[in-house]
Structure 1
Amino acid sequence: MGHFTAFLSLLLCISFEVSASSWQPGILSPRRPTFQRSLPCTFNGTTGFSQLKYLNSSCADIILSNLTVPAGVTLDLRRLQPNTTVTFDGQTSWGFQEWAGPLLSISGINITITGAPGSVLNGSGELWWDGKGQSGKKKPKFFQAHALINSSISDIHILNSPVHVFSISDCHNLTLTNVTIDNSGGDGPGLGGNTDGFDISASTNITIIGAKVHNQDDCVAINSGANITFRDGVCIGGHGLSVGSIGGRGDNTVANVLFEDSVIADSQNGVRIKTKHGQNGTVTRITYKNIRLQNITKYGIDIDQSYGATGQPPTTGVPITDLTLVNVTGTVGGTGTKVFVNCGEGSCSAWNWTEVAVTGGKNSTKCLHLPVGVWC
């Protein structure tokens, strides 16, 4: 009897060792699946999300395959173990509900996040869009990257975000490569609004390469942080490559930013720096290099120290220093303005503009306190 009992116990143990890709609930199933770190953990379809709550340190290779996330719930990947790889395969989709989100949240150390060929993260923003952006229907933000350290995001395709897309905060040494944000379906009255591509705050050493963004707000908005690069990007339909708005937050410093080798087309603004009226902070060592503007409708270059208080004189609490523009060229539409610089007295200094040539549109008559060598 002793040998038979030992054999039966061994057999039962083997039957319960199942991977996430094969686990199904049943009478003899354990309360939770067991993951093997040496094998990929695959979560798919409508059942995959419920299995994710059992995710533990056993999973080093996670595949999310045609995953369906219930309405009003975050796809929560905030407890990933170091050196984990997450691959999105097929279409990831979310149910509709008015809530703040985010739809997806990821954090961790040495995390690799990638999209398989043809994969899409579909936010179904058309179900929320009402032309009111952050007002009107309560809309979830999409992709929260929080405390991602020494990590990478590549080949991710975002479709139809309800509102803000990437919220990057408290991240350090993070690289995003070949990210596509397609909110073109939100163009037009009564549709998408406040669909910022990349919002960056309190982060350092952030590099975004080869991004393609079609949206209805800032392509990039850097609210705070240092050592940030955006290179080889294409921005369509939004509000341009922005620093700001700066002021009124816990961290109000932006330093060492490079926008390089990028195109801004069919957008409201091109180059943009916005500091809040009556607030304090610092903007320094910002470079726009080899930036091509195409059919900008409002301002080709827009630098405003009265942001949030239209018509009020600019304030000096957020000085803008060491601003370099090199080879910033292109066109503004007939009703747009080539350059608008609205600085407080003495709060914009050490600017270096070379090969700046914006054509079309009109010249501004409202520029104030231009630094030496800057035209308006």
Structure 2
Amino acid sequence: MFSHLKSLVSLLVIVVGITASSTSESLEYLTAKNLTSDYCYARSYAEVADVVKRCTHICIENFEVPAGVTLQLNLQKHSVLLIEGTISFGVAHWDGPLMYITGEFIQVIGGTNHLIHGRGEQYWDGNGGAAGVTKPERVMSINAKRGSFKNINIKNCPMFCVSIIGTDLTFSGFNIDNKDGFKGGLAKNTDAMGFVYSDNILIENSNIVNQDDCINIMASSNAVIRNVHCWGSHGLSFSSGLSNTDENNDIHNVTFKDCSIGGSLNGIHILTMPSGGRGKISQITYRNINIIDVTQRAIEFRQDYLRNGQPGNNIRIDDLTLDNIYGTVTGRSAVGVYINCGDGSCSNWNWRDVRITGAKNKDTCNFHPNGYSC
């Protein structure tokens, strides 16, 4: 995967740009810190509960969370949380999450040299959540309203990195580094950022290296993902049909733009599960997406998840726009475009300037978008 040096260099140019941006944005951290002298510091796990209860301006700094417990940050309304130093977690074989943040009108800001270390290297065993040792399922679990999370550095997630439920939230300058997990192919199910039951979400200006979905969206509406750059993942993804309750499968009005994804299994990726309830994925846009050396399918829309070759029509995919999607696939079995829709469940797909090179095999399409010849 990393032998594609030219592609990797191209991606690193992007990454350097993001890192420089994140470093300059750390001025926001310093500005927040200097607004008041009344910050309450927690320099050990034992101090956190009291500080969070008493204060709305909080700094957590450089400590380890004991094994088998969650770092609970139930923030008061209008709180500002600053993160300094390394926050790490003792190793225990449990479900997690390692860190839980909730609140309303909150700001969470990372300092220039901070790190949230999930210690995934102590758990990875070549298996995901369904086998092997029990792993904490999430490093950071968020349930919040009207807030922002900026310049957050996360390393070595045992499984999922960031799980989001909320409304009116911005995530900017996330740097998720799971590259150690490529050694021996040990890390699995390390989805980077995903959200569900959410509305009005912005994810931007972020750099992600992981081994599963880079961004995954479920049962949500009104979101923009922009200037996010991924390496080694499974895709810029949507998942639906996972719930038997119909209203919990709808996804509406989501845009990916100005993103890149490289060295990954898939690039653009929508999965629906035929065994689930009914639902609709609608008004979806991918614009200006650079796909670099994808090993399986650059663009994949399949309605046969876990029932290979037997697509269902319980989830409709309507109003799907692809505009200026370009890049390469590599490998003997790689294809540019794969579409497997259920009977009558795909409609109003409009594609423009979709250009994927390097495929040894022809596209596979049982539905044909406007503007693209499969």
| TM-score scaled by length of structure 1 | 0.86
The residue that corresponds to 2:61 in the other structure is: 65
* Residues 1-376 of structure 1: pairs in structure 2 closer than 5 A: 39-44=38-43, 48-78=44-74, 80-134=75-129, 135-140=131-136, 141-146=138-143, 148-169=144-165, 171-248=166-243, 250=245, 251-279=248-276, 280-312=278-310, 314-335=311-332, 336-364=334-362, 366-376=364-374
Q: CA deviation at 1:246?
A: 3.5
Q: Flag the 1:364–1:352 CA change in 2: closer, same or farther, 3 A.
A: same
What is the CA–CA distance in structure 1 between the aligned matches of 2:219 and 2:89, rounded to whole Å?
Answer: 30
Kept in 2, the 8 Å contact 1:339–1:363? The answer is no
Give CA deviations for 1:1-59 in whole Å, capped at 9, x if unaligned: xxxxxxxxxxxxxxxxxxxxxxxxxxxxxxxxxxxx97111011xxx211222245530
Q: Flag the 1:97–1:258 CA change in 2: closer, same or farther, 3 A.
A: same
Greater CA drift, 344-353 or 92-101: 344-353
Structure 2: which amino acid aligns with 1:309? R
Structure 1: which amino acid aligns with 2:263? D
What is the CA–CA distance in structure 2 between the aligned matches of 1:317 and 1:334, rounded to whole Å?
Answer: 33
What is the CA–CA distance in structure 2 between the aligned matches of 1:327 and 1:208, rounded to whole Å?
Answer: 20
Q: CA deviation at 1:249?
A: 5.1
3-state SS in 2 of match to 1:189: helix
3-state SS in 2 of match to 1:238: coil
Kept in 1, the 8 Å contact 2:352–2:372? The answer is no
Q: CA deviation at 1:188?
A: 3.9
Give CA deviations for 1:310-336 in whole Å, capped at 9, x if unaligned: 132x11110100000000000000321
Structure 2: which amino acid aligns with 1:182? D
3-state SS in 2 of match to 1:210: strand
3-state SS in 2 of match to 1:90: strand
What is the CA–CA distance in structure 2 between the aligned matches of 1:278 and 1:190, rounded to whole Å?
Answer: 30
Kept in 1, the 8 Å contact 2:240–2:250? The answer is no
3-state SS in 1 of match to 2:237: strand
What is the Cα-based RMSD across aligned positions, in Å? 1.5
Kept in 2, the 8 Å contact 1:348–1:370? The answer is no
Kept in 1, the 8 Å contact 2:335–2:363? The answer is no
Kept in 2, the 8 Å contact 1:239–1:270? The answer is yes
Q: Which runs of 5+ in 1 are unaligned?
A: 1-36
What is the CA–CA distance in structure 2 between the aligned matches of 1:158 and 1:357, rounded to whole Å?
Answer: 33
What is the CA–CA distance in structure 1 between the aligned matches of 2:240 and 2:125, rounded to whole Å?
Answer: 24
What is the CA–CA distance in structure 2 between the aligned matches of 1:349 and 1:329, rounded to whole Å?
Answer: 23
What is the CA–CA distance in structure 2 between the aligned matches of 1:193 and 1:355, rounded to whole Å?
Answer: 33
Q: CA deviation at 1:102?
A: 0.3
Q: CA deviation at 1:68?
A: 1.2
What is the CA–CA distance in structure 1 between the aligned matches of 2:239 and 2:186, rounded to whole Å?
Answer: 24
Structure 1: which amino acid aligns with 2:273? K
Structure 2: which amino acid aligns with 1:257? V
Q: What fraction of aligned residue pairs are identical, expressed as a percent?
A: 38
Structure 2: which amino acid aligns with 1:158? I
Q: CA deviation at 1:366?
A: 4.2
Greater helix share, structure number: 2
Give CA deviations for 1:65-99 in whole Å, capped at 9, x if unaligned: 10210000100012x11110111101001000000
Greater CA drift, 196-205 or 270-279: 270-279
Structure 1: which amino acid aligns with 2:98? L
How many residues matched? 333
Q: CA deviation at 1:197?
A: 0.7
Q: CA deviation at 1:199?
A: 1.3
Q: CA deviation at 1:117?
A: 0.4
Q: CA deviation at 1:181?
A: 0.4
What is the CA–CA distance in structure 2 between the aligned matches of 1:262 and 1:56, rounded to whole Å?
Answer: 36
Kept in 1, the 8 Å contact 2:240–2:249? The answer is no
Q: After the TM superposition, which parts of structure 1 deviate over 4 Å for at least 4 consecutive aligned residues?
A: none
Kept in 1, the 8 Å contact 2:301–2:338? The answer is yes
| TM-score scaled by length of structure 2 | 0.86
Q: CA deviation at 1:365?
A: 6.0
What is the CA–CA distance in structure 1 between the aligned matches of 2:85 and 2:356, rounded to whole Å?
Answer: 43
Structure of greater Rg: 1
What is the CA–CA distance in structure 2 between the aligned matches of 1:109 and 1:38, rounded to whole Å?
Answer: 23
